């Protein structure tokens, strides 16, 4: 089995260290970021290649992504970052992450074009002043390959675990039986319609009377459809807290709480409901759970994937046991959960967490929208 990972996701896993620090905000919106990248590309020479697709292999790991730009005339690969505010306020660990991405793309480019070396440039674009700040290094292909291999080795143990989980998850879904002795009146027809729709990659608008068992009647067939459709995630989206509770209860009926669960279930809640220190700012100088967050995250992440469902209370317990922020641990776990239960706004918005992750990682996603 091959495991695919985006360049950004790889580097965020291997190269993020130090404090959680939100002082360098507000960051540009997705639309502003896209516009900024286009502005930078428009300033380059005619042969400039924007959004260059690159891919490489390391064992069972396929690493892929789109480099922001490559100028063949100067042999310069650019990684563009949009920002607003004071450039000098960008935390050092943010810049370290940006360089990691640039270097991984650098190796993928050298491998693709058989280059002996490449000039790497971090281009920081201020969306307000439209000024560029440029940092540049020259790396040999050999050094870049060593860097790439190092990042992949750091990730590979986790990737092996994820591949094993995916196989176990899909096997469990194929053999999953309806959890009750019989369907309620109308429930089988609903479940069959959902399964056929999901299997065909289509959309379904379903109306059903109260008491039919809509939550289990839609979640069960969608889980069953995951292996054949090669789905990465299921999203159960609702506007109300009671809707999240119903979905969590249904998930536990299908998969009772257990260590190393076959289906990883995650509940996402609003920041104000998850924050332990609402009076503090989100940085290591103010909040103890932000101090060293990324240094303690690997252990917290490993503990969290062994728990399901990761409802608000369970996630809080895991987070506090490892002294990390529950809210930002939940955002990290969205990358590794199979079923995510959240508010509509976590997906149906260009700036939303789940939408952004799905686009960046090219996830195959199915959504259940409650009371649409």
Instruction: Tell me how crowded residue 292 is: count the other CB atoms within 10 A of its CB.
Output: 16
What does the pLDDT average to over 164-172?
96
Q: Does some domain include residue 127?
A: yes
Question: Is the same domain home to 188 and 304?
Answer: yes
How much of the chain, in percent, has pLDDT values that exceed 70? 99
Question: Is the same domain home to 226 and 290?
Answer: yes
Specify the pTM: 0.91
Q: Does some domain include residue 244?
A: yes
Q: Does some domain include residue 162?
A: no
> Cα–Cα distance between 266 and 326 in angstroms, integer?
12
Q: Does some domain include residue 160?
A: no
Question: Is the same domain home to 342 and 208?
Answer: yes
> Cα–Cα distance between 36 and 83 in angstroms, integer?
9
pLDDT tens-digit readout, 346-370: 999 877 899 989 988 889 999 999 8
Give pLDDT, residue 116: 98
- Residue 74's pLDDT band, with cuts at 50, 70 and 90, is very high
Q: Does some domain include residue 161?
A: no
Give pLDDT, residue 372: 60
Question: Is the same domain home to 123 and 178?
Answer: no
pLDDT tens-digit readout, 14-37: 999 999 988 765 578 778 889 999
Residue 240 belongs to domain spanning = 168-369
> Cα–Cα distance between 336 and 109 in angstroms, integer?
28
- Choosing from 155, 177, 198, the residue where a domain stops is 155
Give pLDDT, residue 346: 93
pLDDT tens-digit readout, 291-305: 999 999 999 999 999
Question: Is the same domain home to 107 and 41?
Answer: yes
Query: 211-225, 321-335, 349-363: which has the minimum mean pLDDT?
Result: 349-363
Question: Is the same domain home to 125 and 192?
Answer: no
Question: Is the same domain home to 296 and 348?
Answer: yes
Distance of CA 4 to the CA centre of its chain: 13
CATH number at 345 reads 3.40.50.300
Question: Is the same domain home to 193 and 91?
Answer: no
Q: Does some domain include residue 163?
A: no
Give pLDDT, residue 220: 97
pLDDT tens-digit readout, 40-72: 999 999 999 999 999 999 999 999 999 999 999
pLDDT at 152 over 90: yes
Q: Does some domain include residue 116?
A: yes
Q: Does some domain include residue 50?
A: yes
- Residue 336's pLDDT band, with cuts at 50, 70 and 90, is very high
Question: Is the same domain home to 176 and 146?
Answer: no
Question: Is the same domain home to 199 and 92?
Answer: no
Question: Is the same domain home to 307 and 263?
Answer: yes
Omega of the bond leading into 309 within 30 degrees of 0 (cis): yes
What does the pLDDT average to over 169-193?
95
Query: 148-152, 173-177, 332-336, 347-351: which has the minimum mean pLDDT?
Result: 347-351
CATH number at 141 reads 3.90.320.10
pLDDT tens-digit readout, 246-288: 999 999 999 988 778 899 999 999 999 999 999 999 999 999 9
Question: Is the same domain home to 131 and 188?
Answer: no
- Choosing from 155, 181, 210, the residue where a domain stops is 155
- Choosing from 121, 155, 189, the residue where a domain stops is 155
What does the pLDDT average to over 145-164?
96
Number of domains the chain contains: 2
């Amino acid at each position: 089995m091959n495991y695919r990972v985006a360049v950004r996701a790889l580097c965020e896993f291997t190269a993020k260290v130090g404090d959680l620090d939100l002082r360098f905000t507000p960051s540009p919106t997705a639309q502003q970021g896209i516009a900024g990248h286009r502005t930078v590309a428009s300033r380059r020479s005619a042969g400039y290649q924007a959004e260059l697709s690159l891919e490489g292999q390391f064992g069972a790991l396929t690493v892929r992504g789109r480099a922001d730009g490559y100028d063949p005339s100067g042999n310069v690969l650019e990684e563009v970052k949009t920002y607003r505010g004071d450039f000098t306020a960008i935390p050092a660990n943010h810049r370290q992450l940006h360089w990691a991405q640039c270097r991984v793309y650098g190796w993928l480019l050298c491998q693709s074009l058989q280059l002996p070396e490449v000039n790497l440039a971090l281009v920081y674009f201020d969306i307000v002043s439209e000024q560029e700040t440029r940092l540049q290094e020259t790396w040999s292909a050999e050094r870049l390959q060593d860097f790439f291999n190092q990042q992949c080795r750091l990730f590979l143990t986790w990737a092996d675990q994820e591949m094993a989980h995916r196989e176990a998850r899909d096997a469990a879904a194929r053999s999953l039986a309806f959890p009750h002795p019989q369907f309620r009146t109308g429930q089988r027809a609903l479940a069959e319609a959902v399964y056929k729709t999901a299997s065909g990659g289509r959309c379904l608008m379903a109306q059903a009377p109260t008491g039919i068992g809509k939550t289990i009647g839609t979640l069960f067939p969608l889980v069953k459809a995951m292996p054949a459709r090669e789905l990465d995630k299921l999203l159960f989206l609702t506007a109300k807290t009671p809707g999240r509770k119903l979905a969590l209860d249904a998930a536990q009926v299908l998969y009772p709480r257990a260590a190393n669960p076959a289906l990883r279930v995650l509940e996402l809640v609003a920041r104000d409901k998850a924050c332990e220190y609402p009076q503090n700012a989100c940085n290591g100088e103010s909040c103890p759970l932000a101090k060293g967050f990324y240094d303690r995250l690997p252990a917290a992440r490993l503990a969290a994937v062994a728990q399901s469902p990761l409802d608000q209370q369970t996630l809080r317990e895991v987070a506090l046991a490892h002294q990390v922020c529950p809210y930002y641990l939940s955002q990290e776990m969205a990358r590794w959960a199979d079923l995510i239960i959240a508010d509509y706004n976590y997906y149906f918005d260009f700036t939303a967490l789940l939408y952004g992750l799905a686009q960046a990682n090219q996830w195959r996603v199915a959504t259940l929208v409650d009371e649409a």
